[in-house]
Structure 1
Amino acid sequence: MHGRQQPPDAFPRRPLGVTGLHVTPVCVGGGPLGSMPGLFGYDVSAERGTETALAALTGPFNFLDTAAGYSDGESERRIGAALLRIGGVPEGFVLATKVDRDFTTGAFSGDQMRRSAEGSLERLGLDRLPLVYLHDPENVSFEAGMAPGGPVEALLDMQREGVIGHLGVAGGPVELMARYLRTGHFAALITHNRWTLVDRSAGDLLDEAVSLGVGVVNGAPFGGGVLAKGTATSTKYAYRQADDEVLRRIRLMEAACAAHGVPIGAAALQFSVRDPRITSTIVGVSRPERIAETARLATWDIPDELWETLAPLTAPEEFWRW
């Protein structure tokens, strides 16, 4: 069986909650293109990162996600360099970034959020940010996040000023993410490593987000790589050593996929893409050719029998990230 890649204009655009933005079912993740060897295990040169950003901006997907803190702003710088080459953000393209804490001092204040956003504007060469996420708020208490003069208030101020179009929240712990969504301030959500072939922690969170009209973006469908490269290459899930039981189940998934002639990466990606609650799924890329490879995985023919085989192989709840 061979994978089929649709032409670049064949990916439908879906509404991202009530934002009015319409995005493709796959979002290009800009973390790796900025070079994050400590997380991903390899370096990416500035030129390769810029070429990758260029491929993302001109390829079959209209959604690119980055963050101020990725490689100390290097991801945004490389995207900014690519934007300069093509004369700005293409029409209909959605570029999202995230505001970050100060990684030196740990500051997660309102002033820091403003500095972070201003740095993003400068690096990307933009005068407005269409979609900005509060990034990893688990690094501060919910009370501090919502306090007067705190990070959320600062983001709301920048939104009123027109610097930010739509606000989102991006982080890990599912109950904390739900608390932020319940404030009514956020139109988009990124959850990561918690809705994959092996981890279903975010199930209730996805339901709640949809009920609130929040657009859901699912990050890390490959669990940091193991659900794309396989256990022969990686034994980590979510950037840490995976439990033996999780690895056992992934190996069973690999065998099932191989029996059907399907790359496990195709199954891992489409597990997320086919979920009606998820608007778009983030796939990090570090090489220009990865864009076409991701499109191929997203459109690979997967028989129903494989989904039926994979479903009971999900790891038990005690191994989920929550």
Structure 2
Amino acid sequence: MNWREHRGLGKTGLRVTGICVGGSPIGNMPNVYGYGVEDEQAVALVRAVLSGTFNFLDTSNGYGNGTSERRIGAAIKAHGGLPEGFVLDTKVDADPETRDFSGDRVRRSVEESFERLGIAYCPLMYFHDPEYYMTFEEAMLPGGPVEALVKLKEEGVVGNIGVAAGPIPMMLEYVKTDLFQVVLSHNRYTLVDRSAVPLMEEAIKRNVAYVNAAPYGGGILAKGLGDNARYMYREAKPQTVEAVRSIQAACARHQIPLAAAALQFSLRDPRVSSTVVGMSDASRIDETVALADHPIPAEFWTELETMVPPNEVWVG
């Protein structure tokens, strides 16, 4: 698959590139990423994205308590608006102080996002990280967050709704409602974790777009093993560490950057509509393009399949 080509995003009617720029790092969250990002750097990145190859940008109400959205909004204004055909999504989040994630909170979250981004309509709005606040059953109650999102879609405030969360069993429950047009999963379809495969298969069956985030597993599959090996921002399990070590060795033998293998593992799968790659600096754009285009022989992928750690250590 050519990641540059605009492909259909499930049944949404939207067409997106195979790479989606992730706006989480420009939320300026050093407690998560280990570094800060200044306003000027963030706005420069987004302006470069709006003028470049990718036509898909992902953010959230909660990234840096709105910092990511404010910076994207500033870049959109400086650019003179969103380019034609560019797809910007964001996510509804619980109130960071009260933890309220009611239907009323969903509406307030959308209002906050629209104000920061300087928009009056969003083509894709995700229900974000509900697992930290409620059960699936609670989310589906009358007057709850899912009903509020559905109504916002019916009112034309948002074009499509998705769910972006973690645990695969819970994500399957949301997809099976047939209320969502897109599902976004993170850290669960990578070189060392295949937890998301059942979700991917269910999504494809229902013509729900599957978006794959965090192909680098929080950095370990981009930078390799360091003094503090972490997968998904927590200490990596020994079997995962050993798998990464084996994959690094295979990459060295084939003269393939580890990050290129990690990114292309997601890009090459036809079940993946788009792959979210977090960026914090404009230099990452050309770096990501180079990784996506790096030649990788077919036999390399066959070799890597022998190195996947057992499923009991997958995130799930």
Indicate the TM-score class for this superposition, using the shorter chain for normalisation: over 0.9
Q: Secondary structure at the match of 2:164?
A: strand
Indicate the residue corresponding to 1:242 in structure 2. 236
Alignment of 1:1-322 (within 5 A): 11-139=4-132, 140-232=134-226, 234-322=228-316
Distance 1:58 1:226 in 2: 30
CA offsets per residue over residues 57-101 of structure 1, 9 Å max, x none? 211110000000000000000000000011111101000100001
Cα displacement (A) at 1:233: 6.2
Distance 1:234 1:118 in 2: 40
Cα displacement (A) at 1:305: 2.1
Distance 2:287 2:116 in 1: 28
Cα displacement (A) at 1:131: 0.4
CA offsets per residue over residues 191-218 of structure 1, 9 Å max, x none? 1100000000011110000000001100
Q: Secondary structure at the match of 1:70?
A: coil
Cα displacement (A) at 1:104: 1.3
Distance 1:317 1:172 in 2: 16
Distance 1:233 1:180 in 2: 38
Cα displacement (A) at 1:184: 1.0
Cα displacement (A) at 1:268: 0.4
Normalised to the residue count of structure 2, the TM-score between the two structures is 0.97
CA offsets per residue over residues 119-149 of structure 1, 9 Å max, x none? 0000000011110000012121111100011
Question: Taking CA–CA contacts closer than 8 Å with sequence separation of 6 or more, which of the two structures ends up with the larger relative contact order?
Answer: 1
Residue 10 of structure 2 aligns with an amino acid whose one-letter code is G
Structure 1 residues not aligned, in runs of 5+: 1-5
Normalised to the residue count of structure 1, the TM-score between the two structures is 0.96
Distance 2:269 2:159 in 1: 26
Deviating 4+ runs (over 4 angstroms): none
Distance 1:97 1:233, change over 3 A: farther
Cα displacement (A) at 1:235: 0.7
Cα displacement (A) at 1:102: 1.1
Aligned pair count reads: 314
Structure 2 residues not aligned, in runs of 5+: none
Q: Secondary structure at the match of 2:190?
A: coil
Q: Secondary structure at the match of 1:113?
A: helix
Distance 2:228 2:201 in 1: 31
Residue 249 of structure 1 aligns with an amino acid whose one-letter code is A
Distance 2:229 2:282 in 1: 26
Distance 1:233 1:55, change over 3 A: farther
Contact 1:96-1:131 at 8 Å conserved across structures: yes
Q: Secondary structure at the match of 1:91?
A: coil
Indicate the residue corresponding to 1:3 in structure 2. none
Cα displacement (A) at 1:232: 2.3
Residue identity over aligned pairs, in percent, reads 52
Q: Secondary structure at the match of 1:218?
A: strand
Q: Secondary structure at the match of 1:207?
A: helix
